Amino acid sequence: MNMINSLISGLSLGSVYSIIALGYTMVYGISKMLNFAHGDIIMVGSYISFCLTTYVGMPGWAALIGAVAVCTVLGIVIERLAYRPLRGTGSLSVLITAIGVSYFLQNMALLVWGANPRVFKSLFKGLEPIRLAEGQIIITAESFFTIIVCVVIMVGLTLFVHKSKAGKAMRAVSEDNGAAQLMGINVNQSISLTFAIGSGLAAVAGVLMCSAYPVLMPTTGAMPGIKAFTAAVLGGIGSIPGAMVGGLILGTIEIFSRAYISTELSDAIVFACLVIVLLVKPTGLFGKKISEKV
């Protein structure tokens, strides 16, 4: 039964990684940019939700909507001011800028909220856990709703990308930026929309993560951001199903490593598994090898 409880915890943590990884994989798939400030948007979303519940008195779900709205706007602003001027330049310039944006957000959080950890009020406070097998299997409200939200987001995002007009435009930009522009697609609008969606998802992930692990500080999003990027690479960066599967695998490996091997070595084991997978399949589990004609 302990193994089943660990599996549930792993799927819950992996669902958070999956939601964050969806933001990474969408931005890379559309604009071919790696937004390493994505983890810090998670932190901003968590702080916004914390402030709305603690100081304004909003209920948790209303605070979540407010956090999503703020992070969506923040994602658009970051893309417009930091990344759009660098479009078409080398990847090194984008990487340095992303690191700069990351440190800017962390230091702004330090100035506004201070370095002291805050206790985050769970979005599901007061809900009783689900007990199965005479109480030996326990599914907390945080784990249950996190997994459900992850599945709903993945399905909704897949339908949006494949069925909606905006989603088809995003796919066209992903395939060939120049050709899409010649066909009348507003490339800037498509890329801004991608950053907006990814940043909104980051806020959702931040609130869900802090509901399960209720300690909030300016560096809260740093390690989850790195692990979610690892999940996106593991699943095949650019693939929406790959981001979800990669996140679930990563979260499960981490929890089982903590429970049965070593808490200190869990992160090392996670990254070692990524290395092994990439040695066998460099494009990730769902990635496709693209041949480029010259």
Q: Is the pLDDT of residue 236 over 50?
A: yes
Mean pLDDT of 51-72: 91
Contact 67, 46 (CB under 8 A): yes
Predicted local distance difference test score (pLDDT) of residue 275: 85
Q: Is the pLDDT of residue 51 over 90?
A: yes
Q: Is the pLDDT of residue 179 over 90?
A: no
Contact 171, 11 (CB under 8 A): no
Residue 55's CB is within 10 A of a number of other CB atoms, namely 8
Mean pLDDT across the chain, nearest whole number? 87
**Residue 43 pLDDT grade (very low, low, confident, very high; cuts 50, 70, 90):** very high
Q: Is the pLDDT of residue 293 over 50?
A: no
Spatial separation of the C-alpha atoms in residues 6 and 249, rounded to whole Å: 13
Q: How far is CA 245 from CA 47, 69, 154, 200, in A?
A: 28, 27, 10, 20
- At 162-173, the pLDDT tens digits run 889 988 888 888
To the nearest whole percent, how much of the chain has pLDDT over 90?
A: 34
- At 238-283, the pLDDT tens digits run 788 888 899 999 999 999 998 888 888 888 888 888 888 888 888 8
**Residue 111 pLDDT grade (very low, low, confident, very high; cuts 50, 70, 90):** very high
Whose tokens are 């092994």? That residue is 276
Chain-centroid distance, C-alpha 31? 17
**Residue 34 pLDDT grade (very low, low, confident, very high; cuts 50, 70, 90):** confident
Q: Is the pLDDT of residue 152 over 70?
A: yes
Q: Can you count the helices (H) and strands (E) in the chain?
A: 11, 4
Q: Is the pLDDT of residue 151 over 80?
A: yes
Q: Is the pLDDT of residue 37 over 60?
A: yes
Boundaries of every domain in the chain: 22-220
Contact 82, 41 (CB under 8 A): no
What token pair was written down for 23?
Answer: 């933001």
Out of 3-7, 42-46, 105-109, least confident range: 3-7
Mean pLDDT of 208-233: 89
The H or E element that residue 159 is part of is helix 141-163
Q: Is the pLDDT of residue 294 over 50?
A: no
**Residue 180 pLDDT grade (very low, low, confident, very high; cuts 50, 70, 90):** confident
pTM of the model: 0.90
**3-state SS, residue 137:** strand
Angle among Cα 193, 246, 251 to the nearest 5 degrees reads 110
**3-state SS, residue 130:** strand
